[in-house]
């Protein structure tokens, strides 16, 4: 049973068909990557899943609920959260505050509780703070709790964005080019980090250009071009797919050689 399933989804911008009857699925506990050249429509797909764009045709089902054309709030409550291609942290907030924004939807007090700082308010605040600390410690950001997000090194800012996504209580994490702008050491750390998330039970959908990351981490890969799905399969199947090699992997011969060597 798929956790997330897109059934023939289409998005048009005026005359341009950005995503064309695309179908794919992500099973519980999988790491699935979507790859393809720039402009293939990958980020558009993410924006369709997370409710930023309305979809013109098709349907997206998550956890047996139709989530297409619902508000971003509905979708995050259903259990999907995401990161952005260009990091969008709350830069002038502390690390812990960034994560507490993620816990916001789970808050169970009203305006008057906050105004008069009732017992319920204080309990909820304490719980939320503790939860944020737990999340940060579980992903090795415990030492940075009181730093401003802006002052974190780049790799840790990426990690913090994922922490914020986790804090919403998401089951499915959608990562838009998590390794963008990282040096090899940082992307190696990221790789291990994403694996550790999978081990904790999260299901992960990734867009990524760094082929080293994609080939090493994905259980399955979908390849897109001009808004259409042109291939799907395991990393080794994708790496040996002649169409994909020719059009999209560029220096795929390298990957092939490595693959053959194994």
Partner 1 sequence: MFVEQLINGLAIGTIYALVAVGYSLVFGILRLVNFTHSSVYTLGAFMVYVGVEYLHLNIFLAILFSLVTTGFAGVMIDKMGLEPLRKKGASKISAMITTIGLSYIIINCLNIAFGSQIIRFPDLFNYGTFKLLGATIAWQQVIIGAVALILLVALSIFINRTRIGLAMRAVQQEPSAAAINGINVNMIISLTFFLGAASAAIAGTLIASYNQYLRSSMGDIVGLKAFAAAVLGGIGSLPGSVLGGLIIGVSESMAVYKLGGSYIDMVAFSLLFLVLLIRPYGILGRKGSTKV
For the CB of residue 258, give the shortest distance to partner 1 in the complex, in Å: 36
Positive or negative CA dihedral for 230, 235, 236, 239?
positive
Q: First and final CA of the chain: distance in angstroms?
A: 32
Least separation in angstroms between residue 97's CB and partner 1 is 6
Q: Binding to partner 1 (CB under 8 A): which residues in 230-259?
A: none
21 to 60: interface string for partner 1, x by CB under 8 A: -----------------------------x-x--------
How many CA atoms are closer than 13 Å to the CA of 33, on its beta-carbon side?
A: 27
Closest distance between partner 1 and the C-beta of residue 53, in Å? 12
Can you tell me the distance from the alpha carbon of 220 to that of 88, in angstroms, rounded to the nearest whole number? 27
- Using CA atoms, how far apart are residues 68 and 64, in angstroms rounded to an integer? 12
CB of 172 to partner 1, least distance (A): 13
Distance of CA 36 to the CA centre of its chain: 16
Helix, strand, or coil (residue 74): helix
How far is CA 239 from each of CA 50, 257, 260, rounded to the nearest angstrom? 29, 10, 10
Stretch that binds partner 1, among 28-36, 55-63, 98-106, 214-222 (CB under 8 A): 98-106
* Alpha-carbon torsion, ordered 106, 177, 15, 71, to 10 deg: 0
Minimum distance from CB of 191 to partner 1 (Å)?
Answer: 24
List the one residue from 64, 92, 146, 185 that touches partner 1 (CB under 8 A). Answer: 92
**Closest separation between CB of residue 107 and partner 1, Å?**
6
Number of residues that bind partner 1 (CB under 8 A): 31
The side-by-side arrangement of strands in the sheet containing 220-225 is 80-82, 172-176, 203-207, 31-35, 220-225, 228-233
Instruction: Note whether 47 and 53 are within 8 A (CB).
Output: yes
Please identify, using beta-carbon distances, which residue of 96 and 238 lies nearer to partner 1: 96
Task: Please pick, from the candidates 114, 180, 245, 256, the single residue that binds partner 1 as defined by CB under 8 A.
Answer: 114
Q: What distance separates the 2 farthest-apart alpha carbons in the chain? A: 67
Figure out which of the listed residues 11, 48, 62, 82 binds partner 1, where binding follows CB under 8 A. Answer: 82
- Of 101, 145, 191, 230, the one binding partner 1 by CB under 8 A: 101
The answer to whether residue 65 forms part of the interface with partner 1 (CB under 8 A) is no
For residues 135 to 164, the per-residue mask of contacts with partner 1, x marking binding by CB under 8 A and - elsewhere, is: -----------------------------x
* Contacting positions for partner 1 (CB under 8 A): 50, 52, 72-73, 76-77, 81-82, 84, 88-93, 97, 100-102, 104-105, 107, 111, 114-115, 125, 128, 164-165, 167-168
């Amino acid at each position: 049973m798929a956790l997330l399933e897109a059934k023939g989804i289409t998005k048009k911008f005026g005359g341009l068909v950005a995503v064309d009857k695309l179908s794919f699925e992500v099973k519980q506990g999988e790491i699935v990557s979507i790859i393809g050249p720039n402009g293939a429509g990958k980020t558009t797909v993410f924006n369709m899943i997370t409710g930023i764009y309305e979809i013109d045709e098709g349907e997206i089902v998550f956890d047996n609920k139709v989530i297409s054309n619902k508000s971003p709030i509905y979708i995050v409550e259903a259990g999907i959260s995401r990161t952005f291609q260009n990091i969008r942290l709350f830069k002038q907030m502390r690390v812990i505050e960034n994560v507490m924004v993620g816990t916001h939807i789970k808050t169970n007090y009203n305006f008057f509780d906050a105004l008069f700082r009732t017992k319920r308010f204080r309990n909820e605040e304490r719980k939320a703070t503790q939860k944020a600390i737990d999340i940060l410690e579980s992903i090795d950001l415990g030492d940075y709790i009181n730093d401003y997000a802006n002052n974190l090194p780049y790799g840790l800012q990426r990690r913090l964005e994922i922490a914020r996504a986790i804090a919403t209580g998401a089951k499915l994490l959608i990562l838009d080019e998590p390794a963008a702008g990282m040096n090899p050491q940082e992307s190696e750390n990221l790789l291990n980090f994403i694996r550790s998330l999978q081990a904790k039970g999260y299901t992960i959908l990734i867009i990524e250009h760094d082929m080293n990351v994609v080939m090493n981490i994905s259980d399955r890969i979908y390849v897109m071009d001009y808004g259409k799905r042109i291939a799907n399969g395991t990393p080794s199947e994708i790496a040996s797919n002649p169409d994909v090699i020719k059009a999209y992997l560029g220096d795929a011969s390298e990957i092939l050689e490595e693959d053959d060597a194994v």
